[in-house]
Structure 1
Amino acid sequence: MSYELPLPLYKKLTVTFRVEPGCLGPDGIEHIEAFCKFAKQEVANLDSDFVRWVITPRFDKSLLETEYKTNNKRLDHDKAQKYLRVFGKNLDEFEEHLQDKLAELIDQFLGR
């Protein structure tokens, strides 16, 4: 399969990552909205040919930390893995890279 990049928005993998306010420290609830906006801008260009990023606070613990969708349909782990494989990516490495990037961004945001 070959795809013309960048993909149209509806074909991109929408990666929703929900950030716990507590990861910003004891007063994280006061900063979580600003952090999510900052993080969204910082990751916007990562794999942007085929990924659309949504970084949002995780106020509801019943929601998954990371969620994948394409064409408004939720993808389970296996389907997300297959989607990323088309672009030469491994889902576990992809998630690990995102986690590492967000940890860096938290430090940057908090001025560490």
Structure 2
Amino acid sequence: MSDLLSNLDDKLVILFRLEPGCLGPDGLEHIEVFCNIAERALQSLNQSVCRWRLTPRYDKSLDEVQYSLAGKVLPLDKAIKYLQACHTEHSQLMGAFEDKLTQLINQYLDRKASLKT
């Protein structure tokens, strides 16, 4: 598995579609910039197993989370199997991601609020 993970294209890509409303009532104005900033901040989170991608969720018919490997979309059960093969639990991975994302949202909102005063 370590040989597999040495190739960046063979890492699990986790695309998270983020609701603009998480950034407040004017979130639509800020969501694209926030996604770019947050994606860079998440680069080191479980980087041996996955790469995080953030994008605004403008289309609610699309799933909030999408998994892919080598350019192919994976269903959740296959993504979980991949993570298990990498000795990583899906629930722990997503929990760490959600904690970090919450922290980044709060920092962004605090900074935005301080610029208004």
* TM-score past 0.5 threshold: yes
Gaps of 5+ in 2: 112-117
Aligned residues: 111
Alignment of 1:23-102 (within 5 A): 23-102=22-101
Q: Indicate how the Cα distance of structure 1 residues 8 and 42 shifts in structure 2: closer, same or farther if over 3 A, else same.
A: same
Structure 1 residues 4-50: Cα deviation after superposition (integer angstroms, max 9, x where no partner): 37521221101100110000000000110111011001101111123
3-state secondary structure, aligned to 2:73:
strand
**Runs of at least 5 residues in structure 1 that lack an aligned partner in the other structure:** none
Distance 1:6 1:77, change over 3 A: closer
Q: Is the 8 A contact 1:5 1:50 kept in 2?
A: no
| Structure-2 separation of matches of 1:24 and 1:47 | 25
Residues 14-25 of structure 1 aligned to structure 2 (within 5 Å) = 14-25=13-24
Identity of aligned residues (%): 45
Give yes or no for the alignment of 1:13 onto 2:8.
no
With structure 2 as the length reference, what TM-score do the two structures score?
Answer: 0.87
The CA RMSD measured in Å over matched residues stands at 1.5
CA distance in 1, matches of 2:71, 2:83: 17
Paired residue secondary structure (2:88): coil
Q: Helix, strand or coil for the counterpart of 1:63?
A: coil
Alpha carbons 2:4, 2:10 under 8 Å: kept: no
Q: 2:63 corresponds to which letter in structure 1?
A: L
1:52 Cα offset (Å):
1.6
User: Which entry has the higher C-alpha Rg, 1 or 2?
Assistant: 2
Seen in structure 2, the aligned counterparts of structure 1 residues 76 and 6 have a Cα distance that, compared at 3 Å, is closer
Structure that is richer in helix per residue: 2
* Maintained 8 Å contact 1:6/1:48: no
Mapped partners of 1:111, 1:5: distance in 2: 40
